[in-house]
Amino acid sequence: MPRERSLIKILVADDHAVFRDGLRKLLEGADDISVVGEASNSNECIKMLGKFKPDILLLDLRMPEKDGLEVLTEVNFDSLPTRVIVLTAAEDDGDVVRAMRLGARGVVLKQSASDLLLKGIRQVHDGEIWLDNHMTAEVIDAFKKSAESGQRREKRLLSDREKEIVQLVTQGFRNREIGEKLFISEQTVKNHLHNIFDKLGVSDRLELALYAIHHSLVEQT
């Protein structure tokens, strides 16, 4: 029998009531998803994150007072079980790249088909990265440009332990969780990541994950 999927708790943050209503109805039609809250602005979103501790935050990048980027900046997501998927109406929005650098794990265009949104939610919940096809090239190009000053080296330089850490980073685990899985300290994980970044010429975790997937450094499940 297939493994039963756990219920995914979702918080929706968007300032358009009609969009939130349609999104909630779509999500509630899935038997593995529960909408635990709706926020109409960033301040409500931040309060609800602490109250509900959702698995997934669907975060509109364009909201009044504070935008989605400020939410990503202000909230310590390392202290929450929440992974963020940003919602955007623009395919060429440079803020998407900034959002990914600030820790977002997925990007969904508001005009995407409903089945793609649900697929993205489930994939990010499982610890993977989700990029809308229209955004993938822009995000990867942005990370390539940021690393042009540092020459990447061959993947054979990675030790077995470093390869394990790359695999876990790509699956979305945080430093503390990686340490627990590998029976090493969080500081040791940080030291390994510093060495990995240096060897591969990448500058952050997301760039590492994209690079690892593109160069087949990890096993795809």
| Residues 55 and 83 sit within 8 Å (Cβ to Cβ) | yes
Instruction: Tell me the mean pLDDT in the region 124-150.
Output: 68
The model's pTM is 0.71
Bigger pLDDT: 143 or 192?
192
Per-residue model confidence (pLDDT) at position 221: 42
Instruction: Tell me the mean pLDDT in the region 120-127.
Output: 88
DSSP secondary structure of the chain: -PPPPPPEEEEEE-S-HHHHHHHHHHHHTSTTEEEEEEESSHHHHHHHHHHH--SEEEEES--SSS-HHHHHHHS-GGGSS-EEEEEES-TT-THHHHHHHTT--EEEETTS-HHHHHHHHHHHHTT--EE-HHHHHHHHHHHHHHTTTS----GGGS-HHHHHHHHHHHTT--HHHHHHHHT--HHHHHHHHHHHHHHHT--SHHHHHHHHHHTT-S---
Bigger pLDDT: 94 or 10?
10
Which residues in 38-68 are b (16+ Cβ under 10 Å) and which e?
Answer: bbbbbebbbebbeebebbbbbbbbbbeeebb
Per-residue model confidence (pLDDT) at position 77: 87
Per-residue model confidence (pLDDT) at position 187: 92
Q: How many CB atoms lie within 10 A of CB 110?
A: 14
pLDDT tens readout for residues 21-42: 999 999 999 999 999 999 999 9
Instruction: Tell me the mean pLDDT in the region 167-180.
Output: 87
Mean of the per-residue pLDDT values of the chain = 83
Q: Would you say residue 152 has pLDDT above 80?
A: no
- What whole-number percentage of the chain has pLDDT above 70? 83
Per-residue model confidence (pLDDT) at position 140: 65
Instruction: Tell me the mean pLDDT in the region 112-125.
Output: 89
Instruction: Tell me the mean pLDDT in the region 61-71.
Output: 87
Confidence of residue 137 (pLDDT cuts 50, 70, 90): low
